[in-house]
Amino acid sequence: MKLKKIIEEIDSIIERDPAAGSRLGVVFLYPSFHVMIFYKIANIFWRYNLKFISRLLMQLARMLTGIEIHPAAKIGHNFFMDHGLGIVIGETAEVGENVTIYQGVTLGGVMPSIESDAQRNQKRHPTIGNHVIIGSGAQILGPINIGDYARVGANSVVSKDVLPNVTVVGVPAREYSKSPKLKGFKAYGMSVNQVDPIEKMFGSLIEKVENLEKKINKLEKKSPNKKFTKVKKS
């Protein structure tokens, strides 16, 4: 690990976390920084087929940080796990550059463990693009792709591909917004000012029902002898 790259990673954490006061604070106080040092060493051992030592190192890192990363996972530069506790990253997961994920996120598989023999040497975990933000508690499951600059809202469950520049939320995750300009850092993957797509849909339905009622009332006034069935709101 080159000193220049280490400093870049420290500075990238400071840029994304206003609570990070200094480089010294990141080095001594941030579990994301600590676990990535373990991961980079363990990944080297894994590539040299020293798998037991590699797994042992990451088990030690898990006990110290509360973050579980398989040493075979492929992780890009400037990866930041804010808070970090409870994060799980599986064996065949791939993470791009400048990715931010929050506590409780799982990059996991979907196949049952009873079929473990059939799953060996198979792609089972997600591929995360560059500049992606994944909110706390989100579950990204299976060999799917999350496009560059995508956002995943907190506690979402994603089991299908997410296109670049798209924000998804919910269980199962649904498209929330899409914009080619979605490139700024946005903590937790979404803004407090955005409206849930389901809430927006119901709002639109209620508005249509109200418009229909107004039309029926007008028709009744014009033809008082005719009966019209009013739409009942539940």
The number of domains in the chain is 2
With cut-offs at 50, 70 and 90, classify the pLDDT of residue 182: low
From CA 58, how far away is CA 131, in angstroms rounded?
A: 25
- Output the pLDDT for position 227: 59
Residue 114 shares a structural domain with residue 218: no
Answer yes or no: is pLDDT of 116 > 70: no
- Output the pLDDT for position 207: 79
Residue 118 shares a structural domain with residue 200: no
- Output the pLDDT for position 67: 96
Residue 204 shares a structural domain with residue 190: no
Those residues whose C-beta lies under 8 Å from the C-beta of residue 59, and which sit 6 or more positions away, are none
Residue 186 shares a structural domain with residue 74: yes
Side-chain-facing half-sphere of 42: CA atoms under 13 Å: 27
Give the range of the structural domain holding residue 224, as residue numbers without chain letter.
Answer: 195-234
Answer yes or no: is pLDDT of 150 > 90: yes
CATH number at residue 7: 2.160.10.10
Answer yes or no: is pLDDT of 183 > 70: no
Residue 133 shares a structural domain with residue 178: yes
Amino acid at position 2, single letter: K
From CA 25, how far away is CA 19, in angstroms rounded?
A: 10
Average pLDDT over the chain, rounded to an integer: 85
Residue 185 shares a structural domain with residue 201: no
